[in-house]
Structure 1
Amino acid sequence: MLLPNGGVAGAASHAEAEFELKGVPPLLLLTEVDIEQRTAPAERLISEIPVLPSSEGERRSEEKEKKLCEILGPFDGEPSAQEMVERLRALDVHSEVRTLQLPAGPGYWVYLEPEPNRKAALRKLAELQSRGVDSYVIPKGEIENGISLGMFSKKSLADSRMAEAERMGLSPRMQTIERTYREVWVMLNHQEDEKMSEISWSRVLEDKKMLQRRENFCLDVAS
């Protein structure tokens, strides 16, 4: 029997039989699917997704990142900071001296391009100083053997220095760098501040009224 597309009915039946023999499952109409399966709530689907617990190492790492320590300072130097460590130790409060590098804002460095070698740089320096130019040889770094014409905290001052050097026939360059400064603090070990009452602090700081108490992330201080 011919089908509308030119096929043979018997051939179609034979093809269906081949699919059945090969284990291909029959098509399932949507109307034949159980209504409960088609309308499963989202909560049920989500609950079936397994939640993998974080490793113990990750959990401890997160806890460590959140640790805060009390810090005291800044001190005028390490000897006075060490004296405070001893005062706290007498109260069974453990702490350490820490030197912190803090941002000081941008600096503007005016300089001349490096000379081929140290000898040439010293010769250039002597020439500049004979003309009254305040300068020095840069001893190391990316512009080693260059000639520094000054470091300035304000760009307007650096621009003035650049203009002055150009009037003298020089070819200065400017580089912006991030400056830092050092402060000495005493950092209490993690949770050691819980041993201190406000009365204890007032006694410890009786002759150190200018010191500040702050909280900061612990910096590898033993807990």
Structure 2
Amino acid sequence: MKWLALVLLLVNGALWFYGGSLVPKRIAVVSDQQALPRVADLRTGTVEKERERAPEKPVRPRPESGRVEPVEILAEPVPQLHCVRLGWFESADAAREAYLSLGSPGIAYEVREQERELASLHWVIIPPQPDDRALALFRDLQRRGIDSYLVRRGENRNAISLGLFESRQAAETVLEEKKRQNLNAILANFPRNQISYALVFEDELMPGSGAVEAAESDYEDNFDLVEISRCEGVATASENP
């Protein structure tokens, strides 16, 4: 018994002496004074790492608050004043009647007189002669029934006209006929000018809408002269029909 008690005593002493080395190390406990990391900080750090890995996207600038961006508003086209010139008329009254027949367009109109140089006529004549010979020949032609006219003034005074023709071919045909009748006829040019009248008025037409082209097409069916252009300078003086 004594030996058993002695063995137990020695075992207990050994356990007490070496027990500290056999127990596993304790886990360190954080003191109250140390701060634990917050969940938000952990998330922020994770987002920042993701931003470093991902390429940055361009950010569109936003307009300043309260600032209104200007918007361009296209102006509507407005009618523009055009001057219309139509011709030709044999008299001023004929031009005024034409203005009324058109429905009195525009806001002002004017009738203008103009001397025009027309194409020369082809003239079959017997050249000028002394007064007595020219008068005797003219009476003989009248007696024979030949259509003729004795020129009384101008540089062709005492010449005998046998006809005026617009067509040269027609004039040459008559000339050959007169020569077969033993008449000393020749072919000459007959210059001529004519007093004509033009109608001028102002009308408002929409640019770029085809209104000018349409008006020109309509007027060309009835008039030899058609001119339409933007009005410049002083407007025409209005007349009462």
What TM-score do the two structures reach when normalised by structure 2? 0.45
Q: Could you say which structure has the larger radius of gyration?
A: 2
Q: Which has the higher helix share?
A: 1
What TM-score do the two structures reach when normalised by structure 1? 0.48
